């Protein structure tokens, strides 16, 4: 899709036109990835982080946050919880924590892969190529690494590199692809300083990267971060600034579906934070086909505070799963079984398409 078309959709306010967009996105979703909604079990295994991202509550300098790192035993137990709930995938996510030693991660992945039928998705930040390769060899199937924004200047401002490190996540996404991972990325919507044109370019980038998974959600301000300080925020003309609201998030989900029809796209937790009652459902009706269910042990949940007011932090994992399953049935959609690979990935690898 051309840049000006994307910008026009992102700025669209007419209800009828938007209904059209939801309709086309929903139809495209059904045709390419089917009606089933795949649930992923999310395990937030460490909230330790060495980075200084200006938007994220896990940033190293946030001294107010009590830090935790789960034991291998607890991670494997959570993976078993995913099996017990009937999920086909466990997502292991953490801050960028060098204490998650590469060998430890590989060993944990190996255990999950040998003891369970699960697909394993890793979301552990920017790591060395040899580490990513080792995890792939250990059996990890997928990797999530959002590029956050394609505006380089904005990115550099909100995402300082590690000393001596590479500032850019795009080469890393290529590396992940080359290593044979199913690759996911995405952005935040409404970062202070992000313009409509920036966001339109982000969507174009999804297509250029030929992503298998796309996660997008609203930027939510965390008080213990530099972006909470108005003096830190980049200046933008208010007419160009993208709002970090629900409507814009649905637009980006719908447009992502149109540019990457075979990708797996979640209705994200950040979206549910803006609208706990129906946010994820509306996402699922406007292009999304995946939901992540939080399986992090209850005592750690509230500590994985990327942004404030995350939903379901006080729920028991079993209650979360049952609640999501009810919501999906009410939409008239089925629950996915099996791994739920993206057809984009299976086609690239020349494998027969899975059941959709």
Give me the residues that bind ligand 5AD (CB under 6 A), please: 55-56, 146, 148, 188, 217, 219-220, 222, 270, 306-307
Q: What is the DSSP string of 120-136?
A: EEEE--S--HHHHHHHH
Which CB atom, from 28 or from 269, has the smaller least distance to ligand 5AD?
Answer: 269
Q: Give the Cα separation of 154 and 158 in Å (integer).
A: 6
Which CB atom, from 32 or from 177, has the smaller least distance to ligand 5AD?
Answer: 177
Which CB atom, from 141 or from 148, has the smaller least distance to ligand 5AD?
Answer: 148
CA nearest neighbour of 198 among 237, 143, 145, 171: 237
Smallest gap, in angstroms, from Cβ of residue 252 to ligand 5AD?
Answer: 13
Determine the Cα angle at 281 with ends 58 and 24, to 5°: 110
Complete edge-to-edge strand list for the sheet that includes strand 290-294: 213-218, 182-189, 142-144, 119-123, 89-94, 38-46, 290-294
Q: Give the Cα separation of 96 and 317 in Å (integer).
A: 24
Which CB atom, from 269 or from 342, has the smaller least distance to ligand 5AD?
Answer: 269
Smallest gap, in angstroms, from Cβ of residue 287 to ligand 5AD?
Answer: 18
Smallest gap, in angstroms, from Cβ of residue 270 to ligand 5AD?
Answer: 5
Burial 155-174 (b: 16+ CB within 10 A, else e): bebbbbeeeeeeeebbebbe
Which CB atom, from 206 or from 219, has the smaller least distance to ligand 5AD?
Answer: 219
Helical (H) or strand (E) element with 313:
none
Which CB atom, from 126 or from 197, has the smaller least distance to ligand 5AD?
Answer: 126
Q: Give the Cα separation of 206 and 169 in Å (integer).
A: 13
CA nearest neighbour of 257 among 196, 199, 198, 216: 216
Which CB atom, from 42 or from 328, has the smaller least distance to ligand 5AD?
Answer: 42
SS3 33: helix
Which CB atom, from 78 or from 93, has the smaller least distance to ligand 5AD?
Answer: 93
Smallest gap, in angstroms, from Cβ of residue 257 to ligand 5AD?
Answer: 19
Q: What is the DSSP string of 65-109?
A: SPP-B--HHHHHHHHHHHHHTT-SEEEEEESS-TTS-HHHHHHHH
In the chain, where do the E strands start and end?
A: 38-46, 89-94, 119-123, 142-144, 182-189, 213-218, 290-294
User: What are the phi and psi torsion angles at 68 (to 5°)?
Assistant: -145, 160
Which CB atom, from 201 or from 333, has the smaller least distance to ligand 5AD?
Answer: 201
């Amino acid at each position: 899709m051309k840049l000006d078309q994307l910008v026009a959709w992102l700025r669209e306010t007419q209800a009828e036109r938007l209904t059209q967009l939801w309709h086309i996105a929903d139809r495209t979703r059904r045709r390419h990835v089917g009606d089933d909604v795949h649930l992923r079990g999310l395990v937030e295994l460490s909230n330790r982080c060495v980075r200084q991202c200006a938007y994220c509550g896990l940033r190293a300098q946030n001294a107010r946050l009590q830090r935790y790192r789960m034991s291998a035993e607890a991670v494997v137990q959570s993976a078993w919880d995913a099996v017990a709930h009937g999920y086909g995938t466990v997502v292991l996510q953490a801050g960028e924590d060098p204490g998650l030693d590469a060998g430890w991660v590989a060993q944990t992945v190996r255990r999950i892969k040998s003891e369970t039928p699960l697909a394993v998705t890793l979301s552990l930040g920017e790591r060395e190529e040899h580490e990513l390769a080792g995890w792939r060899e250990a059996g990890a199937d997928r990797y999530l690494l959002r590029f956050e924004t394609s505006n380089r200047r904005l990115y550099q401002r909100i995402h300082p590199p590690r000393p001596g490190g590479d500032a850019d996540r795009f080469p890393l996404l290529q590396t992940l692809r080359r290593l044979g991972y199913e690759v996911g990325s995405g952005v935040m919507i409404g970062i202070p300083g992000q313009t409509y044109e920036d966001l339109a370019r982000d969507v174009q980038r999804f297509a250029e990267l030929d992503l298998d998974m796309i996660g997008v959600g609203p930027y939510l301000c965390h008080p213990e971060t530099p972006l909470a300080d108005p003096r830190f925020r980049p200046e933008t003309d208010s007419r160009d600034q993208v709002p970090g609201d629900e409507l814009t998030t649905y637009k980006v989900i719908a447009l992502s579906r149109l540019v990457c029809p075979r990708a797996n796209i979640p209705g994200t937790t950040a979206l549910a934070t803006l609208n706990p009652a129906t946010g994820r459902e509306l996402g699922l009706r406007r292009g999304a086909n995946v939901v992540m269910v939080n399986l992090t042990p209850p005592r750690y949940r509230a500590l994985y505070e990327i942004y404030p007011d995350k939903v379901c932090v006080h729920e028991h994992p079993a209650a979360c799963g049952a609640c999501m399953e009810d919501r999906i049935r009410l939409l008239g959609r089925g629950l996915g079984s099996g791994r739920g690979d993206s057809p984009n990935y299976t086609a690239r690898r020349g494998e027969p398409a899975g059941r959709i």
